[in-house]
Structure 1
Amino acid sequence: MTTAPAPAPQQPRNPLHGITLERMVTELADYFGWYELGERIPVRCFTHDPSVSSSLKFLRKTPWAREKVEGLYLFMLREQKRDAAR
């Protein structure tokens, strides 16, 4: 007898749960613009001919850069929440 797979654990307090890297990069580029994004996280994929696809290729292979993107994304979410409360 086979059993059904266990449901994915819920993470209600994790703001990154369910957010793809592509969505993070797209929203950061829309919010800050590529220039400021490159100033905040100085990596070539943001500063020289930036695009979502080139950024994803780099970030998927570079854990330290992905951590910086996730941190900046969380910062952006806090800023948006703070601005909405005003």
Structure 2
Amino acid sequence: MSAQLNNPLHGIKLEQILNDLQAHYGWEYMGYQINIRCFTQDPSVKSSLKFLRRTPWARTKVEQMYLDYLKKNPKTK
């Protein structure tokens, strides 16, 4: 439990991460940064969640993008 204290993603659901990134950057920029089809072709939160839950490398990239977003926008969370 104490290992999660320093984890900035602790308690944040993947859906919230996607919603925040999409609202701030938009699908086009997200697809440019992380070239995955669920961002570039007919993007939606539902399709992205399905893909990211099954694809650890892609989820890691999205989580890193979110951490960078939080660093650049400290007032958001």
What's the TM-score, normalizing by structure 2? 0.90
> Of 39, 48, 73, which residue of structure 1 is paired with 2:66?
73
- Code of the aligned partner of 1:68: K
2:27 is aligned with 1:34: yes
The residue aligned with 2:13 is: 20
Residue identity (%): 54
Question: Take 2:20 and 2:13, find their aligned partners in 1: how far apart are those partners?
Answer: 11
> 1:14 Cα shift?
1.2
Greater CA drift, 41-50 or 10-19: 10-19
Unmatched 5+ residue regions in structure 2? Answer: none
Tell me how large the CA RMSD over aligned residues is.
Answer: 1.0
Unmatched 5+ residue regions in structure 1? Answer: 1-8
> 1:12 Cα shift?
2.8
Per-residue deviation, residues 15-66 of structure 1 (Å, max 9, x unmatched): 1000111011111101101100100111000000000000000000000000
Question: Take 2:37 and 2:69, find their aligned partners in 1: how far apart are those partners?
Answer: 21
Secondary structure of the structure 2 residue equivalent to 1:35: helix
- Code of the aligned partner of 2:47: S
Point out the structure with max Rg over C-alpha.
1
Secondary structure of the structure 2 residue equivalent to 1:55: helix
